[in-house]
Amino acid sequence: MRRKKYQGPIYGPFYFNIYKPVGKTSFDVIRALQRNLPRAIGKIGHFGTLDPFAEGVLLIGIGQAPRLNQWTQDLPKEYVATGIFGTRSPTGDLTVEEDQIYRDESFSNEMISKDAVTAALNEFVGEYRQVPHQYSATKYKGKPLYEWARDGVEIVKDPVDREIYEIELLEFDGRECKFRVKVSSGTYIRVLFEDLAKKLGTVGVLSALVRTEVGHHKIESSVKEESWPDHFENSDEFLASSAKGVDSLVHFKELDLDETQAKKYINGVKVPFDVEDGDYWAVNNNMILGLAEAKNGILTSSVNFQPSASRKIDLTIRNSLD
């Protein structure tokens, strides 16, 4: 008997601003969406992970959207972090067993003043050299550092250049410190807090971490777990309200290509175009052809969407899929 075909929407490249809850990995979120969205959704990927103990903004791309990952890496990220002075763990957070957590019995709430914490935080603003945490996704010989660490091998990477754009103390009670920070991509907040504690003559560990922004994508617009689809047959509401066009993923100016230029672009042919050097969305008939790079008056394709991407998902268009 011939298998019944599933009638599903045609999906182009879109993305979602998802609220990742505490306790789930970034891949847990991807698996939940894969399981409960129609098969026609295509590939699903994230634009930057969040640690399981952290929560907040997680950008998820579908279709060809994950091909834009390298451009999203330039977006600054904002966090609200809570840390505890006088406490240390191998992972820089409290996800380890109790016997792996070190608490300095000599530490007291009177040892560090609020003014001292504020002054130390302000010293981080600007260029910041950071050593990736041994329990991080940074790779060594193709293997994440956390896998080396779990195997009992400590890998110390060279410091990397990061930048702290803004930092602000929100609360401090002598031991627990809550602060807001905006950083360049790839900055580990666990390491930042450990470095802060070191400046203040003690040790430190993060107890909570919330990613509140990735570029212009804010936590207030993130879709929480209760609004995620629980079955592909009732996913239309989620898709209609939450799927965003890729032209709003990263802000670039648009170039409107005529039919001749569009045909050349789609076929990978360089297109003469009098415009300043930079990255642009290539557009034709209000459809996004892809992401183009202009250099010396020549437009070349960096990402070419096949078929072209619409700005809004259309659930009235159907296709047949086995």
The string of pLDDT tens digits covering residues 169-208 is 999 999 999 999 999 998 999 999 999 999 999 999 999 9
Q: Whole-angstrom Cα distance, residue 87 to residue 278?
A: 47
Which residue, 211, 214, 222, 220, is CA-closest to 16?
A: 222
pLDDT at residue number 97: 87
Summarize pLDDT for 29-76 with one digit per residue, the tens.
999 999 998 877 878 999 988 988 999 999 999 989 999 999 999 899
Which burial class, exposed, middle or buried, applies to 169 when counting CB atoms under 10 A from its CB (0-12, 13-18, 19+)?
middle
pLDDT at residue number 48: 87
Report the 10 Å Cβ neighbour count for 173.
9
Q: Is 320 or 268 the better-scoring residue by pLDDT?
A: 268
Q: Which domains does the chain carry? A: 9-74+218-247 (3.30.2350.10), 77-214 (3.30.2350.10), 252-317 (2.30.130.10)
Whether residue 271 is predicted with pLDDT greater than 70 in this model: the reply is: yes
pLDDT at residue number 135: 57
Report the 10 Å Cβ neighbour count for 98.
7
Summarize pLDDT for 117-159 with one digit per residue, the tens.
999 999 999 999 987 766 555 655 565 555 654 655 565 656 7
Q: Whole-angstrom Cα distance, residue 114 to residue 13?
A: 47
Give pTM, 2 decimals: 0.89
Catalytic hit among 28, 51, 161, 279: 51
Torsion of CA 248, 252, 255, 261, to 10 degrees: -90
Angstrom CA distances, 142 to 73, 145, 147, 300, stand at 20, 9, 11, 31
Q: Is 258 a catalytic residue?
A: no
Whether residue 7 is predicted with pLDDT greater than 80 in this model: the reply is: no
Q: 2-11, 110-119, 161-170, 185-194 — which is least confidently predicted?
A: 2-11
Average confidence (pLDDT) over 88-115: 90
Q: Whole-angstrom Cα distance, residue 53 to residue 95?
A: 7
Angle at alpha carbon of residue 285, lines to 279 and 291, rounded to 5°? 20
pLDDT at residue number 100: 85
Q: Whole-angstrom Cα distance, residue 200 to residue 111?
A: 9
Q: Which range has the top average pLDDT, 79-83, 228-232, 318-322? A: 79-83
- Residue whose tokens read 């047949």: 320
pLDDT at residue number 166: 98
Q: What one-letter code names the amino acid at 274?
A: D
